[in-house]
Amino acid sequence: MKILYLSQSGVLGGAERVILDLAAVLRTIRPTWKLALIAPAAGALEETARALGIATTILPFPTSLARLGDASVADSGGRSGRAWWRLTASLGASSPALVCYLRRLRRTIAAIQPHLLHANGFKMHLLGARTVPDQTALLWHLHDYLGPRPLMAPLLRIALRRCHAIVANSQSVAADAHATLRGSISIRTVYNGVDLARFTPAGPRLDLDAGASLGPATPGFVRVGMLATAARWKGHEVFLRALALLPAGLPVRGYVIGGPIYVTDGSQFATNELSAMAAGLGLAGKVGFTGQLEDSAAALRSLDIVVHASTRPEPFGLVVAEAMASGRAVITSGIGGVAELIEGDRTALICRPNDAPSLAGAIERLALDAKLRERLGGAGRSTAVRRFDRQRMGAELAAIYEDLIKARERRENATAARS
């Protein structure tokens, strides 16, 4: 069996890491399967995929297509005329390049001859629907909410007839897809998985102070950090305002780990924006910015408290599952798919979304109570082992692949018998 993954990014965001975790599991439970990947840019995804033995093809997006996205319009609730203007302009600019790209993608897929096409990301859902061969099953893997997307939602409703099944990374995302697509297609929930051998309480740690160009922290300081891409809805501003509200003598140092990794217009903070925000809040020397760190597991182990401060519903919250697996105390706004991962006051503390005083109160509570941090971390690890092992994710998706391919073969045989 040959599985071809379509990724709309060449960097290692959460959705891309899911592909790699899935491939690593399939290598062990379905060793005869052939895995291939098409990505729009060289980078960490390509390097890691090749190391896993995945045949990888780089098919670069034209610049206009790479930058096309409706996240900024969704973030503004459709109220920003400027965001709508940028979206309309970029859509028009991408049209000629899109035609050429579809032609190249169709030829590349035909040459690989996959039994199943696993499309990751809204752009690849659309492109896959336009290029999937008749004999190939198409699976859309939803890692985000479709309902708020003013461009992607109607386009995917049109493309739905070419898709054979949908997998969502949480029940929350699945419910949104059902309501938005309004089709009869099967939508299955498969929670993301975590490499439990890598994300562990014990293991190497990083010198976050050196990575953030800060002086060494005084012994006994509690390290509280946020590990996320620079998407504007991830809650960086809330985190910084919460740090500024902490009592002056509280032994806490903050860290912002990660940065802008995607090229879609209008959806992310620039690092200098966040640095200026911190300076304006009087946080100089109290919070550090490390940028992207290759070893996220070691980064999580270097923190005493992990903050997840999303201001809108989180589709899944992979960093929450990884922090739990790493035995860290977690604070989360707890909305969207994250609510399906945690138990308040048992595996995480929950603060109100977009509420800096609520987040500050949770940070202060944990900073002053080492036993509570230990209890939350232990319960989080136990939950991650029970629910978020990537072996479980791989087995569930392998079964879905097999069902789709068998169903496709039955339809082909029935068509052949009638002709």
Neighbours of 418 (CB within 10 A): 6
User: How many domains is the chain partitioned into structurally?
Assistant: 2
Report pLDDT digits (tens) over 209-221.
999 999 998 889 9
Structure tokens at 247: 């009592």
* Residues 159 and 212 grouped into a single domain: no
The CATH number that applies at residue 273 is 3.40.50.2000
Q: Is residue 203 part of a domain?
A: no
**Residue 240 within a domain:** yes
Range of lowest pLDDT (70-84, 150-164, 197-211, 319-333): 70-84
More confident residue, 339 or 232: 339
Which range (57-66, 246-255, 306-315, 348-357) has the least confidence? 57-66
Q: What is the pLDDT of residues 363-390, one digit of tens each?
A: 999 999 999 999 999 999 999 999 999 9
φ, ψ at 291 (rounded to 5°): 70, -170
353 part of a folded domain: yes
Residues 380 and 394 in one domain: no
How long is the chain? Answer: 419
Q: How confident is the model at residue 184 (pLDDT cuts 50, 70, 90)?
A: confident
Domain assignment present for residue 202? The answer is: no
Q: What's the average model confidence in pLDDT over 287-306?
A: 95
**Given this model, what pLDDT does residue 237 score?**
96
Is 292 among the domain residues?
Answer: yes
Q: Closest Cα partner for 327 from 205, 148, 172? A: 205
> What is the predicted pLDDT for the residue at 266?
57
Q: Kindly state whether residues 153 and 91 are assigned to the same domain.
A: yes
d(Cα 215, Cα 174) in Å, to the nearest integer?
46
- What pairs with residue 189 in β-bridges? 168
17 and 101 in a common domain: yes
Residues 52 and 156 in one domain: yes
Residues 237 and 91 in one domain: no
Indicate the range of 133-142, 149-158, 203-212, 237-246 predicted with least confidence: 149-158
pLDDT of amino acid 71:
62
Residue 198 counted as domain residue: no
- Residue 182 has a pLDDT of 87
Query: What is the pTM assigned to this prediction?
Result: 0.91
Identify whether residues 58 and 108 lie together within a single domain.
yes
pLDDT confidence of residue 261 = 61
Find the range with the poorest average confidence among 4-13, 61-70, 277-286, 293-302. 61-70
pLDDT greater than 80 at residue 162: yes
Quick one: pLDDT at residue 244?
98
Q: For residue 342, is it within any domain?
A: yes
Mean pLDDT of all residues belonging to the chain = 91
pLDDT at 83: 46
Q: What is the dihedral of CA 10, 12, 15, 20, to 10 degrees?
A: 90
For residues 175 and 302, state if they share a domain.
Answer: no
Q: What share of the chain is helix, strand, coil (3-state, %, to 5)?
A: 50, 15, 35
Q: Is the domain of 308 the same as that of 402?
A: no
Provide mean pLDDT across the span 35-42: 97
Residue 381 lies in a domain: yes
Residue 250 sits in the same domain as residue 375: yes
Amino acid identity at 51: A
State whether 269 and 125 are in the same domain: no
* 124 shares its domain with 52: yes
Rounded to 10 degrees, the C-alpha dihedral 151/152/154/159 comes to 140
How far is it, in rounded angstroms, from Cα 309 to Cα 355? 9
What is the Cα 351 distance to its own chain's centre?
21
For the chain, state the CA radius of gyration: 22
pLDDT tens digits along 64-104: 777 777 765 555 454 444 543 454 444 454 577 888 899 99
Q: Strand 305-308 relative to strand 222-227: parallel, antiparallel, unpaired? A: parallel
> What does the block give as tokens for 222?
């509690």
pLDDT of residue 82: 54
Q: What is the pLDDT of residue 89?
A: 46
Q: Which domain holds residue 19?
A: 2-193+389-418
pLDDT above 90 covers what percent of the chain? Answer: 77
